[in-house]
């Protein structure tokens, strides 16, 4: 095991490992459940663990069902710019919004719930999609001396990538463990977001490189 990967000042952020993003869920990511063992190994290595959880009210503005005549995966313009429309998913209090049953939740020091405002979606662990409203995670990490974040979870090309790019923009050193993530790959989003993360200086790592 690479003991330096989660050295002093590091935190693991596990993104949205929830039932609705796993096979059988409302917005299933291919192979979403297959990453859980790797994520659990990372949780076991990390000294500080944060989980994020999509937590939408019913009739959320990102749901295609909230827009007459629109369908999932179409894009509409909203007040803060383009918004992909999704199937209804991760509705507060439903089984779909719950963490995957095999995920090791207990070690988490913090659970960040996002997407709670009906009119604003939230992919990133740090900012809502209006790019102004914060989740408070930046300040929480800084108060604990964190300057390096490691990310994994769902989905690689949306909430993981948005979180990684925001973390880099905020001045954190950022690593993403690629094989502890899975991608939606909507219209080439996996390739595009992988390139964006590399360009932002995000380190793309693997379980093998960590030595697990």
Residues annotated as catalytic are 16, 114, 159
Residue 150 phi/psi, 5-degree rounding, is -115, 130
- What's the CA gap between 189 and 160, in Å, rounded? 12
Strand 81-84 relative to strand 75-78, pairing = antiparallel
The H or E element spanning position 175 is strand 173-182
Distances (CA, A) of 39 to 51, 60, 93, 194, 201: 11, 29, 23, 19, 23
**How would you classify residue 157: left for phi > 0, otherwise alpha for psi between -120 and 50, otherwise beta?**
alpha
């Amino acid at each position: 095991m690479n003991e330096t990967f989660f050295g002093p000042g590091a935190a693991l952020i596990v993104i949205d490992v929830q039932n609705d993003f796993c096979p059988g869920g409302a917005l299933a990511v291919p192979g979403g459940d297959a990453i859980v063992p790797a994520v659990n190994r990372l949780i076991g290595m990390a000294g500080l663990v944060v989980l994020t959880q999509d937590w939408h009210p019913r009739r959320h503005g990102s749901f295609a069902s909230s827009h007459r005549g629109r369908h999932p995966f179409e894009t509409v313009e909203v007040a803060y710019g383009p918004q992909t429309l999704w199937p209804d998913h991760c509705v507060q209090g439903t089984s779909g919004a719950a963490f995957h049953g095999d995920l090791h939740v207990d070690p988490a020091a913090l659970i960040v719930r996002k997407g709670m405002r009906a009119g604003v979606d939230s992919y990133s662990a740090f900012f809502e999609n209006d790019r102004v409203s914060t989740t408070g995670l930046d300040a929480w990490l800084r108060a604990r001396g964190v300057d390096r974040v490691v990310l994994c979870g769902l989905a690689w090309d949306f909430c993981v990538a948005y979180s990684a790019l925001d973390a880099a923009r905020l001045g954190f050193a950022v690593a993403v463990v690629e094989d502890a993530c899975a991608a939606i790959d909507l219209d080439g989003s996996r390739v595009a977001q992988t390139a964006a993360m590399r360009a932002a200086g995000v380190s793309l790592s693997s379980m093998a490189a960590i030595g697990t």
